Amino acid sequence: MNTPKKNKPTLLVTGANGLLGQKLVNRLLEKDSFHVIATGRGACRLPQTWEGFTYASMDITDKENVLEVFQRYSPEVVIHGAAMTNVDECETAQEACYQQNVAAVGNIIVAAEQYHSFLVHVSTDFIFDGEAGPYTEDAVPNPVNYYGETKLQAEALIQQSSLNWGIARTVLVYGISHDMSRSNIVLWVKKSLEEGKDLQLVDDQLRTPTLAEDLAEGCILMAEQRAKGVFNISGDELLTPYDMAIQTAEFFKLDKTKINKTDSSAFRQTAKRPMKTGFVVQKAKDQLNFKPKSFTEGIEILAKQLNLAN
Protein backbone atom coordinates (compact mmCIF):
# COMPACT_ATOMS: atom_id res chain seq x y z
CA MET A 1 0.00 0.00 0.00
CA ASN A 2 1.27 3.46 -0.90
CA THR A 3 2.19 5.78 1.94
CA PRO A 4 -0.17 8.77 1.74
CA LYS A 5 1.67 11.86 0.59
CA LYS A 6 1.23 15.03 2.60
CA ASN A 7 -0.32 18.05 0.93
CA LYS A 8 -1.38 16.16 -2.17
CA PRO A 9 -2.97 18.37 -4.83
CA THR A 10 -6.65 17.86 -5.59
CA LEU A 11 -7.63 16.47 -9.00
CA LEU A 12 -11.22 16.50 -10.23
CA VAL A 13 -12.41 13.99 -12.86
CA THR A 14 -15.55 14.63 -14.91
CA GLY A 15 -17.44 11.68 -16.39
CA ALA A 16 -16.16 9.42 -13.62
CA ASN A 17 -18.96 6.88 -14.13
CA GLY A 18 -17.95 6.28 -17.76
CA LEU A 19 -15.31 3.94 -19.16
CA LEU A 20 -12.47 6.48 -19.22
CA GLY A 21 -13.59 7.95 -15.89
CA GLN A 22 -13.44 4.54 -14.20
CA LYS A 23 -9.94 3.90 -15.54
CA LEU A 24 -8.80 7.38 -14.46
CA VAL A 25 -10.09 7.03 -10.90
CA ASN A 26 -8.68 3.52 -10.52
CA ARG A 27 -5.22 4.52 -11.79
CA LEU A 28 -5.17 7.74 -9.74
CA LEU A 29 -5.95 5.74 -6.60
CA GLU A 30 -3.10 3.33 -7.43
CA LYS A 31 -0.63 6.16 -7.94
CA ASP A 32 -1.82 8.09 -4.86
CA SER A 33 -0.33 11.42 -5.98
CA PHE A 34 -3.61 13.37 -5.88
CA HIS A 35 -6.69 13.75 -3.74
CA VAL A 36 -9.29 12.43 -6.21
CA ILE A 37 -12.69 14.06 -6.66
CA ALA A 38 -14.77 11.86 -8.97
CA THR A 39 -17.78 13.61 -10.50
CA GLY A 40 -20.62 12.44 -12.72
CA ARG A 41 -24.24 13.03 -13.46
CA GLY A 42 -26.40 11.38 -10.78
CA ALA A 43 -25.30 8.72 -8.31
CA CYS A 44 -21.84 7.16 -8.09
CA ARG A 45 -21.55 4.01 -10.20
CA LEU A 46 -17.93 3.28 -9.33
CA PRO A 47 -17.20 0.02 -7.45
CA GLN A 48 -18.13 0.22 -3.76
CA THR A 49 -14.89 -1.60 -2.92
CA TRP A 50 -12.78 1.35 -4.14
CA GLU A 51 -11.53 3.58 -1.34
CA GLY A 52 -9.72 6.86 -1.14
CA PHE A 53 -11.76 9.14 -3.40
CA THR A 54 -14.65 11.56 -2.93
CA TYR A 55 -17.67 11.44 -5.22
CA ALA A 56 -19.72 14.53 -6.10
CA SER A 57 -22.74 14.61 -8.37
CA MET A 58 -22.15 17.30 -11.02
CA ASP A 59 -24.10 18.15 -14.18
CA ILE A 60 -21.54 19.75 -16.49
CA THR A 61 -24.31 21.49 -18.46
CA ASP A 62 -25.41 23.37 -15.29
CA LYS A 63 -23.03 26.30 -14.81
CA GLU A 64 -24.09 27.01 -11.21
CA ASN A 65 -23.72 23.33 -10.28
CA VAL A 66 -20.21 23.26 -11.79
CA LEU A 67 -19.17 26.42 -9.93
CA GLU A 68 -20.57 25.07 -6.66
CA VAL A 69 -18.57 21.83 -6.95
CA PHE A 70 -15.38 23.73 -7.85
CA GLN A 71 -15.95 26.07 -4.90
CA ARG A 72 -16.28 23.06 -2.60
CA TYR A 73 -13.07 21.34 -3.70
CA SER A 74 -10.85 24.00 -5.38
CA PRO A 75 -9.15 21.46 -7.66
CA GLU A 76 -5.59 22.22 -8.76
CA VAL A 77 -6.09 19.92 -11.76
CA VAL A 78 -9.17 18.87 -13.77
CA ILE A 79 -9.35 15.99 -16.25
CA HIS A 80 -12.44 16.62 -18.35
CA GLY A 81 -13.47 13.36 -19.96
CA ALA A 82 -17.27 13.73 -19.91
CA ALA A 83 -18.84 14.17 -23.36
CA MET A 84 -21.58 12.98 -25.68
CA THR A 85 -19.68 10.53 -27.88
CA ASN A 86 -22.29 8.53 -29.82
CA VAL A 87 -21.48 9.95 -33.25
CA ASP A 88 -24.84 9.15 -34.88
CA GLU A 89 -26.80 10.41 -31.88
CA CYS A 90 -24.80 13.65 -32.00
CA GLU A 91 -25.90 14.08 -35.61
CA THR A 92 -29.62 13.69 -34.81
CA ALA A 93 -29.70 15.38 -31.38
CA GLN A 94 -27.51 18.36 -32.14
CA GLU A 95 -28.76 20.64 -29.36
CA ALA A 96 -28.05 18.00 -26.69
CA CYS A 97 -24.65 17.37 -28.29
CA TYR A 98 -23.83 21.09 -28.28
CA GLN A 99 -24.83 21.46 -24.62
CA GLN A 100 -22.67 18.53 -23.51
CA ASN A 101 -19.67 19.01 -25.80
CA VAL A 102 -19.40 22.80 -26.15
CA ALA A 103 -21.51 24.70 -23.61
CA ALA A 104 -20.40 22.35 -20.81
CA VAL A 105 -16.75 22.98 -21.69
CA GLY A 106 -17.49 26.70 -21.37
CA ASN A 107 -18.81 26.01 -17.86
CA ILE A 108 -15.70 24.02 -16.95
CA ILE A 109 -13.46 26.79 -18.30
CA VAL A 110 -15.21 29.51 -16.23
CA ALA A 111 -14.87 27.44 -13.06
CA ALA A 112 -11.29 26.36 -13.81
CA GLU A 113 -10.26 29.98 -14.49
CA GLN A 114 -11.81 31.07 -11.19
CA TYR A 115 -9.92 28.42 -9.20
CA HIS A 116 -6.72 28.46 -11.32
CA SER A 117 -7.08 24.78 -12.19
CA PHE A 118 -4.85 23.15 -14.81
CA LEU A 119 -7.24 21.59 -17.36
CA VAL A 120 -6.62 18.35 -19.24
CA HIS A 121 -9.35 18.07 -21.88
CA VAL A 122 -10.05 14.88 -23.85
CA SER A 123 -10.63 15.38 -27.58
CA THR A 124 -10.87 13.14 -30.65
CA ASP A 125 -9.51 12.16 -34.07
CA PHE A 126 -12.96 13.03 -35.46
CA ILE A 127 -11.93 16.70 -35.66
CA PHE A 128 -10.14 15.57 -38.86
CA ASP A 129 -11.60 14.66 -42.26
CA GLY A 130 -9.64 11.41 -42.65
CA GLU A 131 -8.02 12.41 -45.93
CA ALA A 132 -4.44 12.34 -44.66
CA GLY A 133 -4.11 10.29 -41.47
CA PRO A 134 -2.33 9.36 -39.34
CA TYR A 135 -2.14 12.89 -37.95
CA THR A 136 0.40 14.82 -35.88
CA GLU A 137 -0.64 17.42 -33.30
CA ASP A 138 -0.21 20.34 -35.72
CA ALA A 139 -2.38 18.91 -38.54
CA VAL A 140 -5.22 21.14 -39.71
CA PRO A 141 -8.67 20.01 -38.45
CA ASN A 142 -11.65 19.68 -40.79
CA PRO A 143 -14.50 17.67 -39.19
CA VAL A 144 -16.98 15.78 -41.39
CA ASN A 145 -19.72 15.28 -38.76
CA TYR A 146 -21.41 17.25 -35.99
CA TYR A 147 -19.66 15.37 -33.19
CA GLY A 148 -16.30 16.38 -34.62
CA GLU A 149 -17.50 19.97 -35.05
CA THR A 150 -18.46 20.24 -31.38
CA LYS A 151 -15.18 18.73 -30.19
CA LEU A 152 -13.26 21.21 -32.37
CA GLN A 153 -15.34 24.11 -31.00
CA ALA A 154 -14.50 22.94 -27.47
CA GLU A 155 -10.78 22.88 -28.28
CA ALA A 156 -11.05 26.45 -29.60
CA LEU A 157 -12.76 27.63 -26.39
CA ILE A 158 -9.95 26.13 -24.31
CA GLN A 159 -7.18 27.53 -26.51
CA GLN A 160 -8.74 31.02 -26.34
CA SER A 161 -9.12 30.90 -22.54
CA SER A 162 -6.69 32.25 -19.93
CA LEU A 163 -6.21 28.74 -18.52
CA ASN A 164 -3.13 26.61 -18.38
CA TRP A 165 -4.36 23.66 -20.44
CA GLY A 166 -3.46 20.44 -22.16
CA ILE A 167 -5.59 18.70 -24.80
CA ALA A 168 -5.39 14.90 -25.06
CA ARG A 169 -6.66 13.77 -28.47
CA THR A 170 -7.53 10.11 -28.76
CA VAL A 171 -8.86 7.49 -31.18
CA LEU A 172 -11.36 4.60 -30.95
CA VAL A 173 -11.13 3.86 -27.23
CA TYR A 174 -11.79 0.26 -26.21
CA GLY A 175 -11.90 -1.36 -22.79
CA ILE A 176 -14.07 -3.06 -20.20
CA SER A 177 -16.06 -1.13 -17.62
CA HIS A 178 -16.24 -2.73 -14.17
CA ASP A 179 -19.96 -3.53 -14.52
CA MET A 180 -19.56 -4.85 -18.11
CA SER A 181 -22.10 -2.25 -19.24
CA ARG A 182 -20.27 -1.35 -22.45
CA SER A 183 -19.21 -3.49 -25.37
CA ASN A 184 -16.33 -2.83 -27.74
CA ILE A 185 -14.97 -4.34 -30.95
CA VAL A 186 -12.97 -7.02 -29.10
CA LEU A 187 -15.91 -8.23 -26.99
CA TRP A 188 -18.31 -8.03 -29.94
CA VAL A 189 -16.06 -10.06 -32.26
CA LYS A 190 -15.33 -12.64 -29.55
CA LYS A 191 -18.99 -13.10 -28.64
CA SER A 192 -20.16 -13.23 -32.27
CA LEU A 193 -17.58 -15.83 -33.31
CA GLU A 194 -18.30 -17.94 -30.22
CA GLU A 195 -21.95 -17.92 -31.33
CA GLY A 196 -20.90 -19.05 -34.83
CA LYS A 197 -21.95 -15.85 -36.58
CA ASP A 198 -20.47 -14.59 -39.84
CA LEU A 199 -19.06 -11.08 -39.54
CA GLN A 200 -18.62 -8.27 -42.05
CA LEU A 201 -15.92 -5.75 -41.14
CA VAL A 202 -14.69 -2.80 -43.15
CA ASP A 203 -11.14 -2.80 -44.46
CA ASP A 204 -11.08 0.78 -45.76
CA GLN A 205 -11.17 2.74 -42.49
CA LEU A 206 -7.92 3.16 -40.56
CA ARG A 207 -7.54 4.00 -36.87
CA THR A 208 -4.97 3.73 -34.07
CA PRO A 209 -7.19 1.99 -31.47
CA THR A 210 -6.60 3.08 -27.88
CA LEU A 211 -6.82 0.94 -24.77
CA ALA A 212 -8.84 2.85 -22.15
CA GLU A 213 -6.09 2.26 -19.57
CA ASP A 214 -3.56 3.86 -21.94
CA LEU A 215 -5.73 6.93 -22.44
CA ALA A 216 -6.15 7.26 -18.67
CA GLU A 217 -2.39 6.92 -18.15
CA GLY A 218 -1.68 9.55 -20.82
CA CYS A 219 -4.12 12.01 -19.22
CA ILE A 220 -2.58 11.42 -15.79
CA LEU A 221 0.95 11.94 -17.16
CA MET A 222 -0.26 15.27 -18.57
CA ALA A 223 -1.85 16.14 -15.22
CA GLU A 224 1.25 15.23 -13.19
CA GLN A 225 3.58 17.16 -15.50
CA ARG A 226 1.11 20.03 -16.12
CA ALA A 227 1.94 19.37 -19.77
CA LYS A 228 0.69 22.29 -21.85
CA GLY A 229 -0.51 22.10 -25.44
CA VAL A 230 -1.95 19.34 -27.61
CA PHE A 231 -0.87 15.72 -27.24
CA ASN A 232 -1.95 12.72 -29.27
CA ILE A 233 -2.75 9.98 -26.74
CA SER A 234 -3.67 6.81 -28.60
CA GLY A 235 -2.37 3.46 -29.72
CA ASP A 236 0.38 3.63 -32.32
CA GLU A 237 -0.65 0.76 -34.62
CA LEU A 238 -2.64 1.76 -37.70
CA LEU A 239 -5.38 -0.88 -38.10
CA THR A 240 -8.68 -1.37 -39.90
CA PRO A 241 -11.71 -2.84 -38.09
CA TYR A 242 -11.07 -5.99 -40.15
CA ASP A 243 -7.47 -6.14 -38.83
CA MET A 244 -8.75 -5.74 -35.26
CA ALA A 245 -11.27 -8.56 -35.73
CA ILE A 246 -8.60 -10.91 -37.14
CA GLN A 247 -6.24 -10.18 -34.23
CA THR A 248 -9.10 -10.79 -31.78
CA ALA A 249 -9.96 -14.14 -33.42
CA GLU A 250 -6.30 -15.18 -33.41
CA PHE A 251 -5.87 -14.30 -29.73
CA PHE A 252 -8.95 -16.25 -28.60
CA LYS A 253 -8.29 -19.05 -31.14
CA LEU A 254 -11.64 -18.56 -32.88
CA ASP A 255 -12.60 -19.18 -36.52
CA LYS A 256 -11.11 -16.39 -38.66
CA THR A 257 -12.84 -17.69 -41.79
CA LYS A 258 -16.11 -16.26 -40.50
CA ILE A 259 -14.68 -12.74 -40.70
CA ASN A 260 -15.30 -11.20 -44.11
CA LYS A 261 -13.87 -8.02 -45.59
CA THR A 262 -16.22 -5.33 -46.79
CA ASP A 263 -16.00 -1.57 -47.33
CA SER A 264 -17.77 1.46 -45.89
CA SER A 265 -20.24 1.63 -48.79
CA ALA A 266 -21.88 -1.52 -47.37
CA PHE A 267 -22.95 0.36 -44.22
CA ARG A 268 -25.42 3.19 -43.89
CA GLN A 269 -24.65 5.38 -40.89
CA THR A 270 -26.37 8.62 -39.95
CA ALA A 271 -23.12 10.54 -39.48
CA LYS A 272 -20.28 10.51 -41.97
CA ARG A 273 -17.04 8.93 -40.71
CA PRO A 274 -13.52 10.06 -41.59
CA MET A 275 -11.85 7.25 -43.52
CA LYS A 276 -8.20 7.32 -42.43
CA THR A 277 -7.39 8.94 -39.12
CA GLY A 278 -5.10 7.55 -36.44
CA PHE A 279 -2.39 9.48 -34.66
CA VAL A 280 1.36 9.84 -34.55
CA VAL A 281 2.14 9.66 -30.81
CA GLN A 282 5.87 10.43 -30.88
CA LYS A 283 5.43 13.74 -29.03
CA ALA A 284 3.69 12.02 -26.10
CA LYS A 285 6.36 9.29 -26.06
CA ASP A 286 9.19 11.83 -26.04
CA GLN A 287 7.78 14.48 -23.71
CA LEU A 288 5.50 12.50 -21.38
CA ASN A 289 7.15 9.05 -21.44
CA PHE A 290 3.83 7.69 -22.76
CA LYS A 291 4.02 3.98 -23.63
CA PRO A 292 0.95 2.72 -25.49
CA LYS A 293 0.17 -1.01 -25.57
CA SER A 294 -0.05 -2.90 -28.84
CA PHE A 295 -3.55 -4.03 -29.84
CA THR A 296 -2.67 -7.64 -28.99
CA GLU A 297 -1.43 -6.53 -25.56
CA GLY A 298 -4.71 -4.67 -25.14
CA ILE A 299 -6.70 -7.81 -25.98
CA GLU A 300 -4.65 -9.72 -23.41
CA ILE A 301 -5.51 -7.15 -20.71
CA LEU A 302 -9.22 -7.37 -21.62
CA ALA A 303 -9.05 -11.18 -21.52
CA LYS A 304 -7.66 -11.08 -17.98
CA GLN A 305 -10.37 -8.61 -16.92
CA LEU A 306 -13.02 -10.88 -18.45
CA ASN A 307 -11.69 -13.83 -16.46
CA LEU A 308 -11.78 -11.79 -13.26
CA ALA A 309 -15.34 -10.66 -14.00
CA ASN A 310 -16.60 -14.20 -14.67
Q: How far are the Cα atoms of 84, 142, 235, 303 from residue 298, in angstroms, in the given order? A: 24, 30, 10, 9
Which pLDDT does position 42 carry in this prediction? 95
CATH architecture, domain 10-176+209-236+278-293: 3-Layer(aba) Sandwich (3.40)
Read out DSSP for 131-185?
A: SS-SB-TTSPP--SSHHHHHHHHHHHHHHHSSS-EEEEEE-SEE---TT-----H
pLDDT, tens digit only, all 310 positions of the chain: 344 445 899 999 999 999 999 999 999 999 999 999 999 999 999 999 999 999 999 999 999 999 999 999 999 999 999 999 999 999 999 999 999 999 999 999 999 999 999 999 999 999 999 999 999 999 999 999 999 999 999 999 999 999 999 999 999 999 999 887 778 999 999 999 999 999 999 999 999 999 999 999 999 999 999 999 999 999 999 999 999 999 999 999 999 999 999 999 988 899 999 999 999 999 999 999 999 999 999 999 999 999 887 7
Decide: helix, strand or coil at residue 147. Answer: helix
Which pLDDT does position 178 carry in this prediction? 86
Give residue limits of the domains in the chain: 10-176+209-236+278-293
Which pLDDT does position 254 carry in this prediction? 98
Q: How far are the Cα atoms of 12, 71, 116, 127 from residue 74, in angstroms, in the given order? A: 9, 6, 8, 31
Which pLDDT does position 267 carry in this prediction? 85
